[in-house]
Amino acid sequence: MTDVKPDAAISVRGLRKIYGSGPSAKEALKGVDLDIPRGSVFGLLGPNGAGKSTIINILAGLVNKTEGSVRIWGFDQDENPRQARAAIGVVPQELNMDPFFTPRAAMEVQAGLYAVPKRERRTDEILARLGLTDKADAYARSLSGGMKRRLLVAKALVHRPAVLVLDEPTAGVDIELRRSLWDYVMELNKAGTTIILTTHYLEEAEALCDRIAVINHGEVIANDETSALLHRLDGKTLIVTPATPLAAVPALPEGATGELRADGALAVSYSRARLNAGTILSALAAEGVQLLDIATEEPDLEEVFVDLVRHG
Ligand code: ADP
Ligand code: MG
């Protein structure tokens, strides 16, 4: 993964981040490589403390990286900081905002920061789309948590970024807002915006994302199309050593596939959702296969981890 893909929405190479120094130094990212395709809905999944926000905040220019390179919409963050910044809008995890700004004022300030010309500003339109018209002139401190979250999304959109990043947008958000937020985000995606979201809910990533990268302890431990990732999670392999060599793969229950290995073992792959080892062993017994030994192929660390995230 050393060759940079210039046509990726985001391309990250060898990204490291060390917070602090000396004995209290914390290596939050340990050399992350990541390519996020344009037009995708990309999930960064991982438990608390994995390093998701650190990646996002580096993309947003809010945290300085220790090492590595970041390209946003083809622009290197160090060589073309202005273009790189203009291509991305970030909805931060923290709900921090100036309590004395009204949503309208906050939007105008943000538009100013991104040098959006007055005639190109769409403050009212964006606020309306996020259901904040009634609150456009209210102080931010009078907004509910959900409204603040929506205002953060609105602010991230003022400069029409090609890439919208949402960092744990639904943590502590009620079901209804969650749904309307996702509807809106998917609409933006259909209109061409690349979406990156972080979450520690696999279900959420599963429902929304085309691709998912799993982050743990500052490293990418899986990065795949959502369907492939789920397929891998569900698959299990039973290794059977027959007492006498098999000439062919015996009949197996529906949903299981067998393969004779060079060492004479029979590897049976099956979906945990549909079958279990007991069913397969009974089927083999019914076929007259005598077993010398059985083992299951250990799921790899990634799977164990993803399982933990799902069930934990
Ligand atoms: P996530 O968003 O996946 O929960 P973070 O990126 O927030 O993870 O944190 C990754 C690691 O870096 C954690 O161990 C966290 O404690 C540490 N960390 C994050 N921000 C800081 C900071 N400003 N100073 C020191 N350590 C930090
Ligand atoms: Mg975070």
The predicted pLDDT at position 3 comes to: 57
Does residue 1 lie in a domain region? no
Is 2 part of any domain? no
Is the C-beta atom of 25 inside 6 A of ligand 1?
A: no
- Pocket test of ligand 1: the residue of 16, 18, 19, 48 to mutate, having most ligand atoms within 8 Å of its CB, is 19
Q: Look at residue 200 in the predicted model and tell me its pLDDT.
A: 76
Nearest protein Cα to ligand 1, atom 12: 28
Give yes or no: residues 305 and 241 share one domain.
yes
- Tell me the ligand closest to 19's alpha carbon: 1
Is the C-beta atom of 28 inside 6 A of ligand 1? Answer: yes
Looking at the domain assignment, is residue 33 inside a domain? yes
Task: Note the pLDDT tens digit of each residue in 173-213.
Answer: 778 888 888 899 999 999 999 999 998 777 778 889 999 99
More confident of the two residues 193 and 4: 193
| pLDDT above 80 for 21 | yes
Residue 51 Cβ contacting ligand 1 at under 6 Å: yes
Q: Do 107 and 251 lie in a common domain?
A: no
What pLDDT sits at residue 87?
97
> Is the domain of 113 the same as that of 95?
yes
- pLDDT at position 301, please? 47
On average, the pLDDT of the chain sits at: 89
Query: In whole angstroms, what is the distance from residue 111 CA to residue 198 CA?
Result: 25
Q: Domain of 61? A: 8-229
Do 62 and 136 fall into the same domain? yes
Residue 201 domain-assigned (yes or no): yes
User: Domain containing 140 — which CATH number?
Assistant: 3.40.50.300
Domain count, the chain: 2
Same domain? For 216 and 272 the reply is no
Q: Which ligand is nearest to the CA of 44?
A: 1
Task: Supply φ then ψ for residue 112, to 5 degrees.
Answer: -65, -45
More reliable by pLDDT, 35 or 234 = 35
Predicted confidence band of residue 100 (pLDDT cuts 50, 70, 90): confident
Cα 241 to Cα 68, 289, 307, distances in angstroms: 48, 10, 28
pLDDT top residue among 170 and 162: 162
